[in-house]
Homo-oligomer: A and B are copies of this chain.
Amino acid sequence: MAEDYVEAIAEAISENGICRAVDLVRHFDVTHATVSNTISRLQRDGLVVTEPYQPITLTAKGKRMATKARNRHEVVRTFLLRIGVSETTATEDSEGIEHHVSDETLRAMKRVMKDGIPASD
């Protein structure tokens, strides 16, 4: 959850300069109330900073998480495409899978995309 939020916030900032709650409402297709609640939790956890009616910014910690999450998401998605999954499915599945992929598995995916499948021993 936190990962998807900071990723979406970073995306909005990089696209529009700022991130407003309404961007997240659209992105996640939830209500303003839900976004408001979630943002409070993210702020409590030191990932974002915001004030009532003001745009949302990422803390250093939030930026770090966003970068890692974005990278992981993209590697997983690309990997799925690489093993022959359709665009649509790769996009859908990577949205969930990304949150369970360890650093080791991520490295394995990158290795495979570069060097192909390891010897069948």
Contact = CB atoms under 8 A, between A and B. Distances in A.
Contact of A104 (B82, B89, B100): B89
Interface residues of A, number: 26
A101 interface: yes
A84 interface: yes
Contact of A108 (B83, B99, B105, B112): B83
Contacts of A108: 80, 83-85
A93 B95 CA distance: 15
Given A100-B100, A117-B117, A112 B93 contact: no
Interface of A: 80, 82-86, 89-90, 92-93, 95-97, 99-102, 104-105, 108-109, 111-112, 116-118
